[in-house]
Structure 1
Amino acid sequence: MREIKENLKIDYKHKRGKGVFRILEFEDHGHHIVYIPSLKLSSYGNTADEAQKMMGDVILEDFFENLFEQSEKVIFDYLKNLGWSKSSIYPKELSNDVHIDTYGILKNFNLSSSTKVTEKLVEV
């Protein structure tokens, strides 16, 4: 189990979010999967690049678009339920201490214990 601190900045005025997220990449039955555990988002593609592009161009864009349709309270309640907490200094910044159990991820995706999982941090 590893701990990596992620961050997210919410810009209500311009309805944008940006941050640093931990992503996991793995292959399942010939498809490449990209998963962001702290947001519970996943995407897939025939190649790793295709899966990453889908995550950035479609999944995250839709996620933030739908998020900003909600009130500020609903947004923060939702993110809090995902493990995010507000910064005590900067009220529109959040952080998340991600505790990832790789075995749990493999189990949730119904993958073999021999599946290779690659992790990295990405800024979006």
Structure 2
Amino acid sequence: MIKHYNLKDADVYIFDNYIINQIREGVTIEAPHDKELNQIVQEHFSGQEIVYISNRVKSYTVDPLIYPKVEQIPNIVAIAIVPKTAIMKQNAAYEKNFYDRTFEIFDTLNEAIVWANKLVMAESDE
């Protein structure tokens, strides 16, 4: 791990090829969360492609209209969601409709990390 941010609404963990974001219980993710994410991405990954991993261990709400704003962050080439429950998995599947880049849902955080590393390495080889 490169850095940890203990933010008001989330814990953000910065790694070489990806970010893991764990949102706090009861939060609603909407603008300006995308601006905060973009600021962190630009600080650590200027000119580098990364994967955003949402480790959904707590219950919270996502406004799906935030996804078009996240698409505007050029460094993020994909999103991985790791839902804790079946309902969270259903919500993530619905949210996928609002994101036009690569968006995958995983059963474990480890699976998402392995996928993120492979994806970033494949992107950098092109």
TM-score by length of 2: 0.25
- Answer 1 or 2: which has greater helix percent: 2
Larger CA Rg, structure 1 vs 2: 1
- Answer 1 or 2: which has greater strand percent: 1
TM-score by length of 1: 0.26
